[in-house]
Amino acid sequence: MDQLVLSVAQVSAQDKNPAATLRAELGEGPFALVLVFVSPQADLQTLGPALQHSFPATPVIGCTTAGEITSAGYDEGMIVAAALPALHFRAAPLLIADLSRFDAQAVISDLIRARGALARERPDWEHEFAFLMVDGLSTKEDALTSAMASGLGAMPLFGGSAADGTRFLETFVLHGGRMLRNAAVLAVVRTRCPVRVFKFDHFRPTQTRMVVTSADPARRIVHSINAEPAAQEYARLLGKDPAQLNPFTFAAHPVVVRIGGRHHVRSIRQVEENGDLVFYSAIDDGLVLTLAEPLDMVQHLAREFEGLGEAEAPLAILACDCVLRRMEAQEKQLSVQVSEILRQNRVAGFSTYGEQFNAMHVNQTLTGVALYAPPATAP
């Protein structure tokens, strides 16, 4: 029991009393924090209060998904609960209630206070991380992660944008028993377990570059690329007809930007009827985009997980996986193989509309935290 670093349970979104089922399957605890990843097929109105009732002494936070990662790997129509045991963890959840006008300085101050309080409570625990879930239709992820950076200091952050299947209509985060839109929830976590926060993507830049020549940054819309209609020029560079562009095209042929010496994916969400391209993350006039090509998804994922276990295998992994990765796996008939790798590595999490890693909002990546065995000494 001392080696249990994450208790995971799952239930169908159609279960008559999913909160009670999850509570029973997670065990007695006590828990420092319960994370819940919820299929949009669930009854969202009743689930929040029911979870509050089932876990009266434990903070419960979560979000809606574009698919879940369960003990079977990729899954759909499920509710996943992942609980951090109080034996090894302390957590402070913070709500950012109005993303349209959040106070960056207030967020930073709250972060600093939360980190300080946890450090005073367990000064003997050396490890920490932050986990962010944010409304995936808010378009505020870039600004929020950037603002949080100075409050986080050396604390690593990962996260995912709440999703709504592939409908892109309503995305919610869960806090205090309520499903909230235009909001984010951040968990600041301190632990005696060694941790490793990571970001994987399986793309490499090509020599094909393009320049955004007209954009609407507030709405993440690109009107023109290389002074040509955006969708038309993107399709030309791919050697495709613009009418062929669809989510599977975008999943297989993302673009990347170079920041801090590394390339980061900027995925396209959809093409508008007028030929504009809508992106999942920040875009602006003058931005240089590079077309990327995929590596073998299965081999890359297996190799990256092997790297996480090079010195010692993690006991569990919490992860946020872009919905476009799931789409690519489906399109290439790799879902079974990817699911098996996720299952073997004891991954729990959800598919997102975007991912966060430290001070950045990224796309088409897998971000997460690997949790390792705690020291053998008593807590």
Same structural domain, 122 and 31 = yes
Same structural domain, 163 and 273 = no
Same structural domain, 344 and 195 = yes
What's the average model confidence in pLDDT over 289-309? 95
Q: Per the structure, how many domains does the chain have?
A: 2
Same structural domain, 34 and 157 = yes
In a domain, 50, yes or no: yes
Same structural domain, 140 and 220 = no
CA 91-93-99 angle, to 5 degrees, is: 155
Higher pLDDT, 276 or 3: 276
Question: Whole-angstrom Cα distance, residue 264 to residue 120?
Answer: 36
In a domain, 378, yes or no: no
End position of a domain, from candidates 275, 293, 311:
293
End position of a domain, from candidates 293, 314, 344:
293
Average pLDDT, the chain: 94
pLDDT at 378 over 60: no
Same structural domain, 208 and 194 = no
Instruction: Return the DSSP state at 218.
Output: G
Ranking 87-91, 124-128, 150-154 by mean pLDDT, the lowest is 150-154
33: buried, middle or exposed (CB in 10 Å: 19+, 13-18, 0-12)? buried
- Of the pLDDT bands very low, low, confident and very high (cuts 50, 70, 90), residue 109 is very high
Write down the pLDDT at residue 3: 63
Same structural domain, 37 and 93 = yes
pLDDT at 1 over 90: no
Tens of pLDDT along 240-272?
999 989 888 888 888 998 887 778 888 898 999
Same structural domain, 154 and 21 = yes
Same structural domain, 160 and 88 = yes
Same structural domain, 208 and 267 = yes
Higher pLDDT, 166 or 317: 317
- Of the pLDDT bands very low, low, confident and very high (cuts 50, 70, 90), residue 9 is very high
Same structural domain, 178 and 218 = no
pLDDT at 157 over 50: yes
- Of the pLDDT bands very low, low, confident and very high (cuts 50, 70, 90), residue 230 is very high
Percent with pLDDT over 70 in the chain? 98
pLDDT at 281 over 90: no
CA 143 to chain centre: 16
In a domain, 145, yes or no: yes
Question: Whole-angstrom Cα distance, residue 249 to residue 235?
Answer: 10
Q: Please say whether the beta carbons of 84 and 33 come within 8 A.
A: yes
In a domain, 2, yes or no: no
Same structural domain, 82 and 181 = yes
Tens of pLDDT along 349-374?
999 999 999 999 999 999 999 999 99
- Of the pLDDT bands very low, low, confident and very high (cuts 50, 70, 90), residue 295 is very high
Q: Which domain holds residue 232?
A: 203-293
Q: Which residues, at least 6 apart from 150, have a Cβ–Cβ distance to it below 8 Å?
A: 108
